[in-house]
Structure 1
Amino acid sequence: MHGQMEMKDMEAYTLTRADGTVRFHGGTESLFRRLNRDELKVLYKLVQERFEDHSLEEKELILWGDLRMMFDPDKQDKIWKNQESWNVLRWKLYENSGVHSVFLIDTPIEINMLVKTKYPLKKEIPEKMINLKLQAEEESTMAFELIKFTRSQIEKQ
């Protein structure tokens, strides 16, 4: 995926590929369902390049922040330091992109993470994720591997 990214409003993304094809996405959940991991990496690179050259609008900063948190997590970031306030609602896997998300109660915030990537999670969060059970479109090797990986994070802490 080469091309450009444009956001019309907070919940809609338009991705134009180098070949001129256009895809519309209704938000990050739609992006994670449709893009594969390599396409997400390219999108992150495009957003980083745009961030260096332009001041970003609020909606662009949200996407940049979500991608940065997934690909380059900083344990000093405020989101990771405030985990004790996370009230986890559900845990979902987007197999195509290799992303899993934790959705929080009473907030629009979702924590998006790459499968097989270690994040600075406190022990209570992976425990809550396992207790909620992973939502996936179908049983798969990736889903089982993610559950196994998450359990191993609990045991290591």
Structure 2
Amino acid sequence: MRRVNTFVPMESEFDKAIPKLAAGSSKRDAKELDQESSKRKKTGKSSELAKEPRDKEADELSQEELQQMMIIVLEQGMNVEALQTKDDLVMLCSLVKERFNSTEPTDDKEKEIWVELKRLFEPDTDDELWKLQKHIHDLTWKLYDSCGVHHVSTEKGIDIYMLVEKEYPLSRGTLTQMLVAKLLVEQDNEMSRELLRKIFMQVERPRR
């Protein structure tokens, strides 16, 4: 009678066990589905990246190659006496233009600054400086990133100041020498890397 009173039908035990098993299996299935979906997303992204056209210029020069084209120097060796920022340079140019709008510069210093500012803001292929590029040797190449100017100077006293964002009539020989000499910078930054890419692409373009 004890066994009869304590007897539990098998169906009821299965009824209790099935929901637990179903819950456990659903959790496992959900985890597996999440893993599979994440794998599919990753493979999908990688395939999309593979299909997308890569930037040729970025492939041409890696970060390490760009760093090899520059030399980081002490800050005190890169100071610009007159020009500290790009705004100073633009203001100086506007003042000099206003000063010599109606009169011609007479003093040597006045002529020098007027010519240099014209070269900076209005590059002209007929300028004598660009015609003398074949005589440019043994140069140093600096970047003043505060005012966005890079400066090429030679042992013979030839100085070329150029705005980073402008194109100048530099010969391929001068461009090649600039890369060989390496760019002197205060620090590795985006401006120096973009300048190196631009100069490198100008050197490489005639070969294609």
Tell me the TM-score normalized by structure 1: 0.75
Secondary structure of residue in 1 paired with 2:100 = helix
1:70 maps to what in 2?
120
Higher relative contact order, structure no. (Cα contacts within 8 Å, ≥ 6 residues apart): 2
Runs of 4+ in 1 over 3 A off after TM superposition: none
RMSD: 1.6
Which has the greater radius of gyration?
2
Range moving further from structure 2, 111-120 or 55-64? 55-64
Query: Is 1:110–2:171 an aligned residue pair?
Result: no
1:14-54 CA distances to partner (integer Å, 9 max, x unpaired)?
xxxxxxxxxxxxxx94224x1x2232112111111111233
1:122 maps to what in 2?
171
CA distance in 2, matches of 1:121, 1:89: 14
CA distance in 2, matches of 1:88, 1:118: 23
Consecutive unaligned residues of structure 2, counting only runs of 5 or more, are 1-78
1:17 maps to what in 2?
none
Consecutive unaligned residues of structure 1, counting only runs of 5 or more, are 1-27
Q: How many residues are matched?
A: 127
CA distance in 2, matches of 1:48, 1:61: 12
2:81 maps to what in 1?
30
Q: 1:58 aligns with which of 100, 103, 108?
A: 108
Range moving further from structure 2, 45-54 or 114-123? 45-54
Structure richer in helix, relative to its length: 2
CA distance in 2, matches of 1:143, 1:122: 20
Identical columns (%): 35
Tell me the TM-score normalized by structure 2: 0.58
2:88 maps to what in 1?
39
